[in-house]
């Protein structure tokens, strides 16, 4: 189970890429959204994010236990779920994809309130919830832009 958990938590080993593995996984998430999730219904998209999030809690817990690290940098399933949340309801467009990517990465890296506080939750919950919050805030920023600018 440990090898499977590691493979899932590192999103097919993307988490082992050099220099900013979270950014690589966010780029992967944007690419999958843009090219493969074109015709997915909103309900199925939300279910996919939920499944990835639940898997993320359990698999990142296992990697944390195995590695002894609190938030292993190779665990990037949180970026996958958070980035997909940032892309929710957006029209398929390079411009929106880039905007969602940049806003999500800025929030995920800087961790403003309340994102930083969620990172302090135990094990897989902290790993996943801070990125889901960054994704949700990114989503909100982009939606505000769409509807008010």
The per-residue pLDDT string of the chain (149 residues; one tens digit each, 9 = 90 and over) reads 578 989 999 999 999 999 999 999 999 999 999 999 989 999 999 999 999 999 999 999 999 999 999 889 999 999 999 999 999 999 999 999 999 999 999 999 999 999 999 999 999 999 999 999 999 999 999 999 999 98
Q: Which domain holds residue 66?
A: 2-148
Supply the pLDDT for residue 1. 54
Indicate the SS3 state at residue 149: coil
| Rounded Cα–Cα distance for residues 138 and 118 (Å) | 16
Supply the pLDDT for residue 38. 86
Q: What is the DSSP letter of 36?
A: T
For the chain, the domain total comes to: 1
Please state, in angstroms and as integers, the Cα–Cα distance from residue 76 to each residue in 40, 60, 70, 95, 117, following that order.
23, 9, 14, 24, 19
For the chain, count helices (H), then strands (E).
7, 0
């Amino acid at each position: 189970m440990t090898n499977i958990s590691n493979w899932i938590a590192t999103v097919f080993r993307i988490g082992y890429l050099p220099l900013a593995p979270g950014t690589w996984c966010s780029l992967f998430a944007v690419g999958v959204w843009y090219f493969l999730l074109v015709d997915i219904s909103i309900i199925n998209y939300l279910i996919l994010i939920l499944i990835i999030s639940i898997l993320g809690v359990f698999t990142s817990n296992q990697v944390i236990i195995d590695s002894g690290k609190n938030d292993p940098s190779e665990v990037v399933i949180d970026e996958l779920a958070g980035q997909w949340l940032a892309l929710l309801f957006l029209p398929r467009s390079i411009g929106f994809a880039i905007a969602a990517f940049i806003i999500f990465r800025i929030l995920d890296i800087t961790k403003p309130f309340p994102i930083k506080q969620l990172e302090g939750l135990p094990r897989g919950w902290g790993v996943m919830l801070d990125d889901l919050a960054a994704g949700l805030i990114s989503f909100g920023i982009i939606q505000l832009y769409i509807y008010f600018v």
